[in-house]
């Protein structure tokens, strides 16, 4: 099969001819139809996260099952699938309570520790595949359907985890990014009032198009003051921070009103940030992390898309051979929403 392979950190992709994967016991092989190209996998490309080289990256996949190994139930050739990228054990305490991202025995991630979707075929434990429901037009929208498993599932989880309620005010930091813009959409879907915070005027315009009621240009305004002004001095109910630098986290914490919740999803920086204990106490504020999504949250995200309630924003598609081009645009922050590779 053809595959775009990363041989070392920060090196260009190399188009290789690899042996077609064969399904072992408990495994299945899918023909890749499309694979998302977001910032998460760009972090893998640029070596900012742990990775097993050489590797085929890509974890937002739409595919068609072509082979199942012994003992596999629930999948057959021809099934249309997407995937859950956490290689969780399925039987520890955290897996049992439906919090697979916290798995005690996590073996890693698709596209970082085992080969992912930048190839003609992908082989995984069968239980990592998820059926795409009928009613989703994957034939006409392969790129969009491929990214649901992360771009929609991640903010869908935040809606629940932060308990976003109708008419609450939600500030999204990094709202113009690939996940941020979908967070704007999902908070709007939850009937919240959404304020988009970003440093790109063009992307803030797009945030308005997908549901932001107000925007704050952090390159020009004092974010905390702007959010106080936009909420009549009350502060926001929920601040979701996809940037999660020290300065954005401190601004996000400072912008919370009484009963406010701060959610961080950046997480690549180990640096601590400061928040006032008296503000936490007196306002009963909450600070929380939200890590990816469970398999069930992907299934529900697919269902939401099948019902036409939300739909991912993919603005650029490329052929497999053009992976280098899309990653140059990701590095430069030029992509609005998501980009994706669509196989020929």
Binding Zn ion (rule: CB under 5 A), the pick from 56, 81, 95, 184 is 95
Region from 92-100, 226-234, 280-288, 313-321 binding Zn ion, contact rule CB under 5 A: 92-100
Q: Where are the beta strands (DSSP E) in the chain?
A: 2-5, 14-17, 27-37, 61-68, 80-83, 121-125, 129-131, 169-173, 193-198, 214-217, 236-241, 256-264, 286-289, 314-318, 338-342
Tokens of residue 176, six digits:
């113009």
| Number of residues this chain uses to bind Zn ion (CB under 5 A) | 5
Quick check: 3 binds Zn ion (CB under 5 A)? Answer: no
In angstroms, the CA 38 to CA 111 distance is: 12
Task: Kindly tell me which of 93 and 274 has the beta carbon lying closer to Zn ion.
Answer: 93
Cis peptide before 54 (omega within 30 of 0): yes
Q: Per rule CB under 5 A, is residue 201 in the interface with Zn ion?
A: no
Considering beta carbons, is residue 98 or 247 the nearer one to Zn ion?
98
246 binds Zn ion (CB under 5 A): no
**14 lies in the site for Zn ion, by CB under 5 A:** no
State in angstroms the smallest separation of the CB of 105 from Zn ion: 5
Instruction: Examine residue 292 and tell whether it contacts Zn ion (CB under 5 A).
Output: no
CA neighbours closer than 13 Å in the CB half-sphere of residue 331: 13
Nearer to Zn ion by Cβ, of 92 and 280: the residue is: 92
Closer by beta carbon to Zn ion, 105 or else 247: 105
- Mark residues 96-135: x for contact with Zn ion by CB under 5 A, - for none: -------x--------------------------------
Q: Is the CB of 1 or the CB of 92 nearer to Zn ion? A: 92
- Is residue 204 within 8 Å of residue 217, measured between CB atoms? yes
328 touches Zn ion (CB under 5 A): no
**Beta bridge mates, 6:** 55
Q: Applying CB under 5 A, does 165 fall inside the site for Zn ion?
A: no
Taking residues 134 to 163 in sequence order and writing x for each that binds Zn ion by CB under 5 A, - otherwise, the string is ------------------------------
Q: Least Å distance between CB 100 and Zn ion?
A: 7
Gap between the Cα atoms of 311 and 186, Å rounded: 10
Q: How far is the CB of 87 from Zn ion (least distance, A)?
A: 10
Closest approach of Zn ion to the CB of residue 128, in Å: 13
Q: How far is the CB of 125 from Zn ion (least distance, A)?
A: 13
Q: What does the block give as tokens for 144?
A: 């969009």
Look at residue 115 and give its three-state secondary structure.
coil
Q: Strands (DSSP E) along 92-246, which ranges?
A: 121-125, 129-131, 169-173, 193-198, 214-217, 236-241
DSSP type of residue 4: E
The DSSP letter of residue 332 is T
* Closest of 36, 2, 11, 13 to residue 318, by C-alpha: 36
342 binding Zn ion? (CB under 5 A): no
Please report whether residue 88 would count as binding Zn ion according to CB under 5 A.
Answer: yes
Q: Which residues of 237-273 are buried (b: 16+ CB within 10 A; e: fewer)?
A: bbbbbbbbbeebbbbbbbbbbeebbbbbbeeeeeeeb
Residue 89 near Zn ion by CB under 5 A? yes
Region of 83-91, 120-128, 166-174, 185-193 interacting with Zn ion (CB under 5 A): 83-91
Which one of residues 92, 275, 287, 306 is an interface residue with Zn ion (CB under 5 A)?
A: 92
* Minimal distance, residue 127 CB to Zn ion, in Å: 12
Binding of residue 294 to Zn ion (CB under 5 A): no
Q: Are 261 and 238 in contact (CB under 8 A)?
A: yes
- Of residues 50 and 89, the one with the C-beta less far from Zn ion: 89
Cβ atoms of 156 and 327 within 8 Å: the answer is no
Contact positions vs Zn ion (CB under 5 A): 88-89, 92, 95, 103
């Amino acid at each position: 099969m053809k595959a775009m392979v990363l041989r070392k950190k920060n090196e260009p992709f190399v188009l290789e001819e690899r042996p077609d994967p064969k399904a072992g016991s408990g495994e299945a092989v899918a023909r890749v139809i499309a694979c998302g190209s977001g910032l998460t996998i760009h972090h893998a490309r640029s070596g900012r996260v742990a990775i097993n080289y050489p590797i085929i990256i890509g974890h937002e996949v739409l595919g068609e099952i072509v082979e199942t190994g012994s003992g596999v139930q629930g999948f057959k050739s021809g099934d249309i699938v997407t995937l859950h990228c956490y290689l969780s054990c399925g039987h520890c305490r955290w897996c049992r309570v439906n919090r697979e991202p916290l798995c005690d025995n996590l073996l890693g991630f698709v596209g970082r520790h085992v080969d992912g979707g930048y190839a003609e075929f992908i082989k995984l434990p069968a239980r990592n595949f998820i059926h795409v429901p009928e009613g989703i037009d994957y034939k006409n929208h392969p790129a969009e359907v491929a990214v649901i498993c992360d771009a929609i599932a991640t903010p869908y989880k935040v809606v629940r985890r932060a308990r976003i309620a109708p008419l609450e005010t939600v500030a999204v930091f990094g709202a113009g990014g690939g996940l941020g813009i979908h967070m704007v959409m999902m908070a709007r879907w939850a009937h919240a009032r959404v304020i988009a915070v970003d440093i790109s005027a063009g992307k803030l315009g797009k945030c308005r198009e997908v549901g932001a009621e107000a925007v704050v240009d952090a390159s020009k305004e004092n974010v905390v003051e702007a959010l106080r002004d936009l909420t009549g001095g009350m502060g926001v109910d929920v601040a979701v921070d996809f940037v999660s630098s020290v300065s954005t986290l401190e601004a996000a914490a400072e912008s919370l009103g009484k009963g406010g919740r701060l959610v961080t999803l950046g997480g690549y920086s180990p640096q601590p940030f400061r928040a006032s204990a008296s503000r936490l106490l007196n306002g009963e504020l909450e600070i929380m992390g939200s890590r990816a999504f469970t398999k069930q949250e992907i299934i529900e995200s697919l269902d939401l898309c099948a019902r036409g309630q939300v739909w991912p924003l993919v603005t650029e598609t490329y052929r497999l051979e053009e992976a280098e081009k899309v990653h140059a645009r990701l590095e430069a922050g030029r992509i609005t929403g998501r980009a994706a590779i669509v196989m020929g």
